[in-house]
Chains A and B, each alone.
Chain A
């Protein structure tokens, strides 16, 4: 039997030591009627067969390697240097667990501490925790933290409509039993002024995204004004960000954010069909004790040498139980490790160049698409690596045509999230897209527009 070391002979010796005759005798507490039920599963596979079978399932997908992709919308194709997987693949990292016993987990703990340090540095905040499940759950935990900061006395949550729709949905799922008043995201026209108008003395938090889900950047001055207004109302400002963009743009810590969170997948983590990802979460030092999730702290050992431990455990469910700030137990430590290695190896200069390439390539693509007849790049704000285009033809027909004829995935159809943005695609361009690919996209769009328009006319 695979992965079981005990031989029949040893098993007999062990049963004798226990004092039972047969292994089945160990399960007498299980109601007899329901013991050893039939289980209809496929016949077991050898390793070779498993590799072949899984290989054929994997082969049935069209991956980023086969296609030219301009889909982002919350999950991003970025370059991950070879060392990231190589180092994270050290089995001393991936086959360890939560570092409950600090003395024999210094590798994991120091890696978490360095992750926290680099995330705090990048976001301009005082402290970061050891990760949440993903950007959406980090956003929900930001909302819950704000409720804790208001000691349950404030019940209104203001969400910007340009926060990722999945994040907003998760906020609603998490808080459905809390009797909250969640407002602001029903109308795409709700800009910062409208959000400020929605704040009252019952408001716990305002959540915005920068660059927002549609790729647009809000200036530090505009963000600072928002922060001032939110603080004047006695509420907390949470900003979801793209960490890669912070290689180039002013961090939220510089413009008054209280909580900065979002999706950290971009940092060295595979896109992997949606998971596992990691939510990063950064905050002010004074608020840490109201937050959820693991945190590693620096301390000393009996010889006064520096070491690291998990700390502030009294906030956590294994100690505080029903009064804990959240139920988080397992988080995304291995993904955070990958992000940590990514940031260490890309460093100050590397992250800057990734961010610059995203910016310049996205602007090149947007400019070329905007020149095409019938296509229009929407919005007048600066943007980072994503932008919205309105298409002259039906978006699903356009996508089919580009895929079939060109092997191109041109972007994310916005109709589902924003019915007002019909015929619109969210296009994402990163350092992974070469000029040739962008030129092909432009060519493909031109051709699609003419072919599909002709078909409509005929």
Chain B
């Protein structure tokens, strides 16, 4: 069923909610400024029209709450409903970001504690909650690395090393920062190639951007050596925190030698992905980078007064916690790269992540990583056991995700795209496809910890059944999906025709 657009169901004269009657006298409108009311190009709908339209649209989506959604790298775990309740509390949802700090101490305490918890989870000395998304945290991190060297008078450094398995945001953030990307290859065990790293490390390197576990789902076997080598050359190590779900509670990135890292709160800490955002991308740093953080952060007023340089190193205060005696204030570090967005952060997302961390505690977070990795290895074992799908670096233990390949013996002409579209007919959202770029016909599968063994088995059964279909009836795959709200869509036509709006 095609759902018409809001303009197609519009009917002249229909209206939605009314406002109260205007209770002040009308002021004259300035001449020559006003838009013709009749020409205002918005639809005219009743409230019920709108309700039915958007409810019907919602039914055309797969989502975590309706389907298994093993989208690798995106960490599509279940979003606890309590998070929505807490983020919607009037004392959070109805406060203005420019209210005096005395009126919003509860919200600031939540932010302060979240800064402390994220620092504790990751081992960093200071955390800013400002960035609105992982990629923005990444940009902030790279700008901080750049400024750190410049601040020391070291202006030869222009290059950032990025492994070929990295997320595309890494090279993009580097370029936006005015720096040059040098791509490093992976070795035959899926690690960063140490020889290539050594070869490229010199006094022109700002740092290395490393995703660990990486996008092949593998933990860097030489992580300590990698970070030592970079530090020895005077560079810094950026950690892409996208895969923290695999190691939260298992190790602290800062202890492994990472200097700066972003957190994707919408991944590891269960905030809903919203059809593509909002997320939040707080950034943690070691002490020497703390004065470059984008602000404002939340700091204890007493500490700002005592130690104007370092009020964000709040580690020891975590044990005591803010009390009535502790007034919280906004604080921007002395050498800050500047703010990266308006106000202090995606607060509503922060409330959800805070709720989740408080409910899980240290032991719960550790169980998250254990079960995420267990589920991924189980699924990998099932697919390996039945021998249908090649798996990249199959001899290694994977972390919370792994990369299978849509290269099926006896089914030439069937591609990963066909397999993923056929999965829709079985009621599953497809995995991430064709990423990482270094694996041919990649199917990147991340089940997350919230899925049951039963769900994993059904998914493995479906993939194995599809492999069978690929051999006996490949057109079934080529023409898939058959059960989705639409048949296969023509993406090339969309780019050529370029219709982005229609009234």
Contact between B374 and A275 (Cβ–Cβ < 8 Å)? no
Contact between B359 and A95 (Cβ–Cβ < 8 Å)? no
B153 contacts the other chain (CB 8 A): no
Alpha-carbon distance A263/B342, docked complex (angstroms): 10
Contact between A332 and B278 (Cβ–Cβ < 8 Å)? yes
**Segment at the interface with B among A2-10, A181-189, A190-198:** A2-10
Query: Which 3 residue pairs across A and B have the least CB separation, nearest first?
Result: A177-B178, A334-B274, A274-B343
Instruction: Convert A60-82 into 0s and 1s, putting 1 for each residue whose CB lies closer than 8 angstroms to a CB of B.
Output: 11111101010101110101011
Instruction: Convert A107-125 into 0s and 1s, putting 1 for each residue whose CB lies closer than 8 angstroms to a CB of B.
Output: 1101111101110111000
Pick from B63, B381, B450, B486: contact of A91, CB under 8 Å: B63
Contact between B450 and A5 (Cβ–Cβ < 8 Å)? yes
* Contacting residues, chain B, for A367 (C-beta < 8 A): 27
Contact between B479 and A302 (Cβ–Cβ < 8 Å)? yes
Tell me the minimal C-beta distance from A457 to chain B in angstroms.
27
Alpha-carbon distance A16/B69, docked complex (angstroms): 25
Pick from B17, B20, B51: contact of A350, CB under 8 Å: B17
B64 contacts the other chain (CB 8 A): yes
Question: What are 17 A-B contacts with C-beta separation under 8 Å?
Answer: A2-B364, A92-B61, A96-B61, A98-B74, A107-B61, A111-B57, A117-B5, A173-B338, A179-B178, A249-B33, A273-B107, A276-B346, A298-B499, A306-B2, A344-B54, A382-B33, A431-B20
**In chain A between 272 and 321, which residues have their CB closer than 8 angstroms to a CB of chain B?**
272-278, 285, 288, 294-303, 305-309, 311-314, 316-321
Contact between A345 and B47 (Cβ–Cβ < 8 Å)? yes
* Contacting residues, chain A, for B22 (C-beta < 8 A): 356-357, 360-361
**In chain B between 27 and 72, which residues have their CB closer than 8 angstroms to a CB of chain A?**
27, 29-30, 32-35, 37, 40-45, 47, 50-51, 53-55, 57-67, 69, 71
Contact between B420 and A98 (Cβ–Cβ < 8 Å)? no
Alpha-carbon distance A323/B91, docked complex (angstroms): 43
Pick from B76, B355, B364, B481: contact of A54, CB under 8 Å: B355
Other A-B pairs, 12, CB within 8 Å; known A35-B251, A112-B275, A127-B501: A17-B385, A106-B486, A114-B5, A248-B34, A273-B344, A275-B342, A301-B487, A302-B488, A318-B435, A329-B133, A344-B45, A361-B24
Tell me the minimal C-beta distance from B148 to chain A in angstroms.
13
* Contacting residues, chain A, for B256 (C-beta < 8 A): 31, 34
B494 contacts the other chain (CB 8 A): yes
Tell me the minimal C-beta distance from B454 to chain A in angstroms.
8
**In chain A between 124 and 143, which residues have their CB closer than 8 angstroms to a CB of chain B?**
126-128, 130-131, 133-137
| CB-based nearest A residue for B174 | A322
Alpha-carbon distance A435/B26, docked complex (angstroms): 12
Pick from A41, A57, A114, A133: contact of B357, CB under 8 Å: A41
* Contacting residues, chain A, for B397 (C-beta < 8 A): 20, 25-26, 28-29
**Segment at the interface with B among A199-207, A217-225, A371-379, A446-454:** A217-225
| CB-based nearest B residue for A356 | B22
* Contacting residues, chain B, for A104 (C-beta < 8 A): 60-62, 67, 424, 429-430, 481, 484-485
* Contacting residues, chain B, for A370 (C-beta < 8 A): none
Pick from B92, B319, B370, B396: contact of A58, CB under 8 Å: B92
Number of interface residues of B (CB under 8 A): 211
**In chain B between 479 and 500, which residues have their CB closer than 8 angstroms to a CB of chain A?**
479, 481, 484-491, 493-495, 497-500
Contact between A58 and B106 (Cβ–Cβ < 8 Å)? yes
B438 contacts the other chain (CB 8 A): no
B237 contacts the other chain (CB 8 A): no
Instruction: Give the interface size class of chain A.
Output: 35 or more
Alpha-carbon distance A47/B272, docked complex (angstroms): 18
| CB-based nearest A residue for B142 | A177
Tell me the minimal C-beta distance from B9 to chain A in angstroms.
9
Contact between B367 and A326 (Cβ–Cβ < 8 Å)? no
Contact between A273 and B104 (Cβ–Cβ < 8 Å)? yes
Tell me the minimal C-beta distance from B31 to chain A in angstroms.
9
Contact between A37 and B252 (Cβ–Cβ < 8 Å)? yes
Tell me the minimal C-beta distance from B231 to chain A in angstroms.
16
**Segment at the interface with A among B81-89, B304-312, B403-411:** B81-89
* Contacting residues, chain A, for B340 (C-beta < 8 A): 137, 170, 173-174
* Contacting residues, chain B, for A301 (C-beta < 8 A): 486-490
Q: A4-B367, A97-B276, A346-B16 are in contact. Are A288 and B498 (CB under 8 A)?
A: yes
Pick from A40, A170, A327: contact of B176, CB under 8 Å: A327
B288 contacts the other chain (CB 8 A): no
Contact between A106 and B251 (Cβ–Cβ < 8 Å)? no
* Contacting residues, chain A, for B286 (C-beta < 8 A): none
**Segment at the interface with B among A154-162, A226-234, A335-343:** A335-343
Instruction: Convert A10-42 into 0s and 1s, putting 1 for each residue whose CB lies closer than 8 angstroms to a CB of B.
Output: 110111011110010111111100111111111
* Contacting residues, chain B, for A311 (C-beta < 8 A): 491, 494-495, 498, 500
* Contacting residues, chain B, for A295 (C-beta < 8 A): 500
Contact between A41 and B121 (Cβ–Cβ < 8 Å)? yes
Contact between B450 and A177 (Cβ–Cβ < 8 Å)? no
Alpha-carbon distance A81/B17, docked complex (angstroms): 7
Alpha-carbon distance A316/B276, docked complex (angstroms): 15
Tell me the minimal C-beta distance from B46 to chain A in angstroms.
9
* Contacting residues, chain A, for B433 (C-beta < 8 A): 100
Q: A2-B360, A64-B94, A335-B277 are in contact. Are A359 and B27 (CB under 8 A)?
A: yes
Tell me the minimal C-beta distance from A180 to chain B in angstroms.
10
Contact between A30 and B251 (Cβ–Cβ < 8 Å)? yes
A59 contacts the other chain (CB 8 A): yes
B325 contacts the other chain (CB 8 A): no
Contact between B278 and A95 (Cβ–Cβ < 8 Å)? no
Tell me the minimal C-beta distance from A66 to chain B in angstroms.
9
* Contacting residues, chain A, for B331 (C-beta < 8 A): none
* Contacting residues, chain B, for A133 (C-beta < 8 A): 132-133, 136, 278, 341
A257 contacts the other chain (CB 8 A): no
Alpha-carbon distance A20/B426, docked complex (angstroms): 31
Pick from A92, A330, A438: contact of B266, CB under 8 Å: A330
Residue in B69, B105, B276 whose Cβ sees the most chain A Cβ within 10 Å: B276
Alpha-carbon distance A74/B66, docked complex (angstroms): 37
Contact between A50 and B82 (Cβ–Cβ < 8 Å)? yes
Q: A56-B106, A303-B487 are in contact. Are A37 and B59 (CB under 8 A)?
A: no
Tell me the minimal C-beta distance from B438 to chain A in angstroms.
12
Pick from A3, A43, A137, A357: contact of B136, CB under 8 Å: A137
Alpha-carbon distance A298/B64, docked complex (angstroms): 25
Alpha-carbon distance A26/B30, docked complex (angstroms): 70
Contact between B338 and A297 (Cβ–Cβ < 8 Å)? no
* Contacting residues, chain A, for B82 (C-beta < 8 A): 47, 50-51
* Contacting residues, chain B, for A167 (C-beta < 8 A): 342
Pick from B41, B58, B117: contact of A41, CB under 8 Å: B117
Alpha-carbon distance A51/B86, docked complex (angstroms): 7
Pick from A59, A248, A347: contact of B43, CB under 8 Å: A347
